[in-house]
Structure 1
């Protein structure tokens, strides 16, 4: 549990990203060691020098915590990978995939905006590197260029697809949060949001010796009820969607009599309204407990003039 908590922090993600960079750097070095030759004539130790310098600079960004370290680290990724693609003797160069892997990882970690910036920067790097490779390609230049451009086009399409998926996941995440905290049908906060955030009203009103009345309201047409409630209640009152047919109302600084008058006015506007009401007399009650207590009192109500309102018994 402690390890997973560390990984979920921003510093933990940065460390994991550095470890991934180190792994891919080692894989690239092993690839060059088993290749027949480089695209340009360079010393055999060049891949090791590049990998060592790259990892040392990335470690410096990690340890020194320089300003905009993540942006500098991503820029260094693009520069080094551009050099690596120039050295890759393959046609098309397999190391081109690492460039798009860097773009994708930035998108997954930092969102769609960083993904699009990195994708544009990667295309700029390739726009510089690929013409150099094609112009220096020894024999079969057209075939080599065709294969490289096909790989480039295929990877670009893949990255655009992944970008669309990142954008979709962000939209779904925002919708999930909004649905969890705001009921999309009525526009009021949800039951989860109510019980998670409004419980502090109970001890506060007890400390202030001020009455806090809770009400559970039922109506067959929840949309009409929601519209009427939003027009009638004060800005200081808390309104939430309790379940399919009920709204929960928290009326601060409101005694039982005042709450009854408000509910009677709501019933005049919306015939068929039924309600259970309770004014708290204890600071030890949990909000979810009080709402459940009101729910158990609702079956005592009927749709007639004498029994539409039920007073819940005080909590023990």
Structure 2
């Protein structure tokens, strides 16, 4: 299951899915024309098949050759081919017009708002060329239907564009919320666990002490401001939970960590802390922090028991 998901989410998997989707819609268009008695403009009956072979063949070449700007060439080929197809579509309004907007939407879903807007502009340019040609040969009633369909589909695309933009804004906000805690301006617990775990085996390899500390105070934002002023650039501070800050102090022995915690305690009465210097290079950071949190249960706010030393992990 995991390998299948990886194949589908890889760049090559996305390109293959795009090609299969293009082939599917091209096949549907050929079936549609094959069951149509006449074209909008006179042409040999085999014309849709020739267009199909040329379109699928060029897209296949772009899929495997992958020249520079291959995605842009593929998208431009979509627009040009659909413009030609609409000139042969005898329907009024032409059903194949919907495929033009499918191409716009699929590009937006895969490549973001910028590509969506470029494709939408390209689709409107194609329609500005094709529709006047068709309308000059069509009755007034049919012309009104085609113009209404263009307006309706364009409005739908603008709506989907707003939804794509909204989703991008929400995704960026969610990513920022995952990495940054708004109350302390430190990184979040999730970011700490997922990115700082490499410090443990690194310090074991270079035989340098790595000291961890959990700090608790009723006014966490105020404590965070002081911590930010006291720690070094090489230290890591994170929001651990509602009441705790986690500190990772590289190349720091227990005594030096105690000095830092004592300084914080002098300025913030009521502070409680647990500290531990890691001696096991195979220890998981999240497990070590959980061990520290269990040790915090031994602390109290009085001067004799505010600091607890966690037992070595085995």
- How far apart are 1:203 and its partner, in Å? 2.5
Specify which of 157, 167, 170 is matched with residue 169 of structure 1: 167
Q: Name which of structure 1's ranges 65-74 and 100-109 shifts more when overlaid on structure 2.
A: 65-74
Measure the CA separation in 2 of the matches of 1:202 and 1:6: 32
Q: Which residue of 2 aligns with 1:306?
A: 304
1:128-167 → structure 2 map (5 Å cutoff) = 128-137=129-138, 140=139, 142-167=140-165
Residue 302 of structure 1 aligns to a residue whose secondary structure is: coil
1:122-271 → structure 2 map (5 Å cutoff) = 122-137=123-138, 140=139, 142-271=140-269
Q: Structure 1 regions of 5+ residues with no counterpart?
A: none
- How far apart are 1:125 and its partner, in Å? 0.5
- How far apart are 1:180 and its partner, in Å? 2.3
Q: Which residue of 1 aligns with 2:83?
A: 82
1:116 aligns with 2:114: no
Q: Structure 2 regions of 5+ residues with no counterpart?
A: none
Q: Which residue of 2 aligns with 1:290?
A: 288
Q: Name which of structure 1's ranges 155-164 and 254-263 shifts more when overlaid on structure 2.
A: 254-263
Question: Taking structure 2 as the reference length, what is the TM-score of the superposition?
Answer: 0.95
Q: Which residue of 2 aligns with 1:49?
A: 50
Measure the CA separation in 2 of the matches of 1:109 and 1:79: 20
1:118-144 deviation per Cα after TM superposition (whole angstroms, max 9, x unaligned): 00010011011111111122xx3x222
Residue 36 of structure 2 aligns to a residue whose secondary structure is: coil
1:250-309 deviation per Cα after TM superposition (whole angstroms, max 9, x unaligned): 111222222111111112222221111112233232212211111011111111222211
- How far apart are 1:73 and its partner, in Å? 0.8
Measure the CA separation in 2 of the matches of 1:285 and 1:27: 58
Question: Taking structure 1 as the reference length, what is the TM-score of the superposition?
Answer: 0.95
1:34-55 deviation per Cα after TM superposition (whole angstroms, max 9, x unaligned): 2232111111111111111111
Q: RMSD across aligned C-alpha pairs, in angstroms?
A: 1.4
Measure the CA separation in 2 of the matches of 1:116 and 1:253: 51
Residue 276 of structure 2 aligns to a residue whose secondary structure is: strand
Q: Which residue of 2 aligns with 1:69?
A: 70
Q: Name which of structure 1's ranges 264-273 and 51-60 shifts more when overlaid on structure 2.
A: 264-273
- How far apart are 1:181 and its partner, in Å? 2.4
Q: Is the 8 A contact 1:213 1:256 kept in 2?
A: yes
Q: Is the 8 A contact 1:181 1:190 kept in 2?
A: yes
Q: Which residue of 2 aligns with 1:94?
A: 95
- How far apart are 1:17 and its partner, in Å? 1.1
The runs of 4+ residues in structure 1 deviating greater than 6 Å are none
Measure the CA separation in 2 of the matches of 1:280 and 1:12: 43
Measure the CA separation in 2 of the matches of 1:145 and 1:300: 82
